[in-house]
Structure 1
Amino acid sequence: MVIRLSERWPEVSPDRLLSECVPPPRFADVRFATYRPDPAEPSQTEALTLLTERAAVLAQPRQEPTLWSRLRGRTPAPGKPGIYLDGGFGVGKTHLLASLWHEAAGPKMYCTFVELTNLVGALGLRTAVEALSPYRVLCIDEFELDDPGDTMLITRLLGQLVGAGVQLAATSNTLPDKLGEGRFQAVDFLREIQALAANFDVRRIDGPDYRHRGLPTAPDPWPDERVEATAAERPDTSCDHFVDLHRHLAELHPSKYGALLDGVQAVGITDIRPLTDENVALRLVVLADRMYDRDLPLLASGVPLDQLFSAAMLKGGYRKKYLRALSRLIALARKS
């Protein structure tokens, strides 16, 4: 029987949301020893040294704040409580961040910026602060500063966690045409970003993308009938019409998109159409991330995947998210 994602209504407990905040399977085995810095890019070696040193500190059990530090409202710590790795695609930032998480003592958390905002949205800010305050370190991959609301929310969260003694580590993916741009200098919400920046030691990692340059070419889409027939033949493969799927995503909180894929080994989507609604597009970005984390092959019909987002979207404020989603969806389509 073919699985229909559009007919699933997963329920996700707060404990499950927190327990799933670990590096994705593709980074489960990375360590500092497996990172290979480019000899021509000294910033990569510097970042490796910096995070290795920080990991040695985080490997020790967390020291509880003294009475004096509680009275002052903060926990004393050497230097800034966070490290922020800024750079282009494919220079190994996620490898380093996951390696730091693996070395650190628990409790600890690893998530993307989108996952963190979804977690806070699902739990509420107050509950999220209470749940995360005992943590040794919070690692945030793909930090994004393209939404003022999310930025202000996470600024409040991280400010309270730092006050509780939680250490931070984060990465960002600067677009190729924006290399060198200060990631904490967005004009529209400068005050909030400066408050965030005060918590981080920002380090730049330079170097060419070791994977590829530019967006890969999308494979030719399959006919609808082939997607449906293949989904029916393969075990644990879902198949949904594109419109049914994105309408269903609108009815679920994004924190449930991972649970939506429980037990699924491949995803089929028929009649994919160019998007004009940014809300629909952003939901599909989150679904693409959850599919990519699980390495699920994509069976797709309709327009080629590189036509999913309009030219205007790829030039707009969320372009980084769309480019990442395209790269991941195309890679998953090639697996099928």
Structure 2
Amino acid sequence: MSTRTPNEAAPAAATPLSLCSREPHVPADRLVAEMVPPPRFDSVRFDTYLPDPNQPSQCEAVKVLSGFAEGLGGAHATGAGRRRWFARKPAAPAGPRGVYLDGGYGVGKTHLLASLWHATPADPALKAFGTFVELTNLVGALGFQKTVQTLSGHRLLCIDEFELDDPGDTVLVSSLLGKLVEAGVALAATSNTLPGKLGEGRFAAADFLREIQGLSAHFRPLRIDGEDYRHRGLPEAPAPRSDQVVTETAYRVPGASLDDFPHLLEHLARVHPSRYGALTDDLSAVCLTDVGPVPDQSTALRLVVLADRLYDREIPVLASGLPFDKLFSDEMLNGGYKKKYFRAISRLTALARDAKGLVAQ
């Protein structure tokens, strides 16, 4: 858990930070170096996962993944560009070279994926962990061939929030993972969608069936049932605060940011999603005024990425306006990206609950 104590009063009132004033530049080497479990999941392990006793699939997932990690302890290529010149090319594995954790939001899939990363007996430099968006951003920054070369020497690649939102990503990731599996890299992924159903409802999936089936062949699906642990047995999400309370808190809490929600949404369109993590550097809290409905799907998807980065970094969110479960329209919540939006609502609600301690009593 975070060791921050943002509720401590500053010696004197200071002007809060602003997300809208930030346009970070993120070099490619930082993108590679940061492919590790985020702060929220830095200390998680299989034995810290608390399975729901009413959901046997959760205990089974721990057992299967523990065995998968142990199986990755054997010999492996020493890295792209460092194999012996006359070494025989390794044969492609006969069966799936990865595991795919499928389940609803909040059942602990990311916890289990990070635990797998920690449990795999390999140098951290030979293990990579990132979201699907971060992986595609890495290809954009390095180029396809350089990304293959960079990751081919790894023992394990963990991909969180695996979702295919357009045909280009489908072909790109299918080709990338095929190259990595051929190089001997083990794969693990989480998603709310079974591998064979990726892309369904978002684009003409039938036109890309070959690529989608190729992706599915790399994974052994592992279903994880259950309800959202972030709300299991917890009180209702706190109601939004007034503009005055949010503003006063932002000025009082060291390292807090203060932004008007509509202007923040506009700013996100000017910053590439690969930089949203850097956008939150050194923040202790995010304070937002005038939260309201997200106007369109492109804006909504950018907000989802920001919510993920805030959640990964355990940054509480204090807001005025509408509650977070009113951000997305009914059309959005019933469309092809609905699982992303529900995940964002779940995570922002958890961060709003974390922010309760920021408000002066």
Report the TM-score, using the length of structure 2 for normalisation. Answer: 0.82
Aligned to 1:98: 114
Structure 2 match to 1:24? 38
1:51 to 57, 65, 78: 65
Give matches, 1:132-281, under 5 Å: 132-174=151-193, 183=197, 186=200, 187-188=205-206, 189-212=208-231, 217-281=236-300
Alpha-carbon RMSD: 2.7
What is the letter of the counterpart of residue 198 of structure 1?
A
Whether the 8 Å contact between 2:132 and 2:160 is mirrored in structure 1 is yes
Does the alignment pair 1:81 with 2:103? Answer: no
Structure-2 separation of matches of 1:258 and 1:202: 29
- Measured in 2, the distance between the counterparts of 1:99 and 1:117 equals 23
What amino acid maps onto 1:167 in structure 2? A
CA distance in 1, matches of 2:321, 2:60: 46
Contact 1:285/1:322 (CA < 8 Å) preserved in 2? yes
Hey, what's the Cα distance between the residues in 2 that align with 1:216 and 1:62? Answer: 48
Paired letter, 1:164: A
Q: What does residue 111 of structure 1 align with? A: 130
The yes-or-no answer on 1:120 pairing with 2:112 is: no
CA contact (8 A) 1:155 1:195 kept: yes
Deviations along 1:256-302, one digit per CA (max 9) or x if unpaired, are: 11111111100111112211211111111111111111111112122
**Contact kept? 2:40, 2:311, Cα under 8 Å:** no
Select 2:330's aligned residue among 311, 316, 329. 311
Q: CA deviation at 1:314?
A: 0.6
Pair 1:230–1:210, CA change in 2 (3 A): closer
Deviations 1:96-131 (A, max 9, x none): 222211122131111122222233233332332222
How many residues matched?
A: 328
Write the distance in 2 (CA, Å) between the matches of 1:7 and 1:297: 19
For 1:86, the aligned partner's letter is D
Letter in 2 for 1:98: A
Task: Measure how far apart 1:26 and its partner are.
Answer: 2.7
* Percent of residue pairs identical: 58
Counterpart Cα distance in 2 of 1:333 and 1:182: 35
CA deviations 1:151-197 (Å, max 9, x no partner) are 222112111211222110112225xxxxx895458444322210101
Residue 275 of structure 2 aligns to which amino acid in structure 1? K
For the residues of structure 1 that align with 2:195 and 2:140, how far apart are their CA atoms?
29
Structure 1, unaligned runs of 5 or more: 175-179
Are 1:217 and 1:306, in contact at CA under 8 Å, matched by a contact in 2?
Answer: no
Q: Match for 2:77: what amino acid?
A: Q
Please tell me whether the aligned partners of residues 231 and 239 of structure 1 are also in contact (alpha carbons under 8 angstroms): yes
Cα displacement string for residues 188-233 of structure 1 (whole angstroms, at most 9, x for unaligned residues) = 4322210101111222233454444799854322222322222111
Q: Which whole-Å CA distance do the structure 2 matches of 1:200 and 1:271 have between them?
A: 43
Q: Give a deviation string over 1:54-106, Cα, whole Å, max 9, x none.
A: 21132345235785753xxx544463211112223444433322221112213
In structure 2, what is the Cα distance between the partners aligned to 1:197 and 1:311? 30
Structure 2 residue matching 1:227: 3-state secondary structure? helix
* Contact map agreement 1:216 1:327 (CA 8 A) in 2: no
TM-score, length-normalised on structure 1?
0.87
| Runs of 5+ consecutive residues of structure 2 not aligned to the other structure | 1-14, 356-361
